[in-house]
Amino acid sequence: MKTNFFENIANLNAPGIWTIGIQNDQNGDFTVSALYAPFKSNDPAAKMIVPLIHRGKASEMDEGFFEATATQVESLKGLYSNLKAVTASVEAAKKKVTQGGKPQPVKQTTGNPDEIEVGEPKISAEEKKKSYFDTLKKVVELNDACKYEEALNILPTVEDYPEKKEELEKRKADLTRKATQYKQALQLFEQA
């Protein structure tokens, strides 16, 4: 008997690691799980990808398996190829963000080389407000990307924005809770 199963995989033009599980029952129903990874990765984000599950009769599998799988493979090829670039850009952004949202001290001189003062730069209320909202925007983006630890690292402090105490404490508690849950979920996933 000749099949074109491997030709179909080759036609997807997606070299990598394929994990396929096939289960059938006495009624002729099939359950097929297919997971594609272009390379072996230890990145936690890559480990969160779940297999695509197909259910149906043998004839339905023959007709629709590769069409549905091709869609998943295309999206995963983009995800995996972009994973390293995203990680590198996040690390670069971390380096540029000031520690704890505080401005870095600057040296001010009066012209005399022996008189050097170190202190906080003067920031207008408008600039401070803009900085706060820009930082919060980044925090929301990191939260949406499930990067809770990074969001906590750049969250503005109550000391810098006492008027926003309630909002900042609420955000910090929420991000801390999510970070803990995320770590627990990853640990459970790694144990499975």
pLDDT digits (tens), the chain, 192 positions: 787 888 888 888 877 788 889 999 999 899 988 887 776 666 666 666 777 788 889 888 888 887 877 777 777 666 665 555 666 666 667 666 644 545 444 444 555 555 544 455 567 788 888 888 888 888 888 888 888 888 888 998 888 888 989 999 998 998 898 888 888 877 777 776
What is the token pair recorded at 191? 């144990």
What is the gyration radius of the CA atoms in the chain, in angstroms?
Answer: 26
Residue corresponding to tokens 């170190």: 118
Residue corresponding to tokens 């540029």: 96
Residue 74 lies in a domain: yes
Residue 44 lies in a domain: yes
Contact 75, 49 (CB under 8 A): no
Q: Which of 65, 86, 107 is the last residue of a domain?
A: 86
26 and 51 part of one domain:
yes
Task: Quote the domain boundaries for residue 66.
Answer: 5-86
How far apart CA 170 and CA 99 sit, in angstroms, is 20
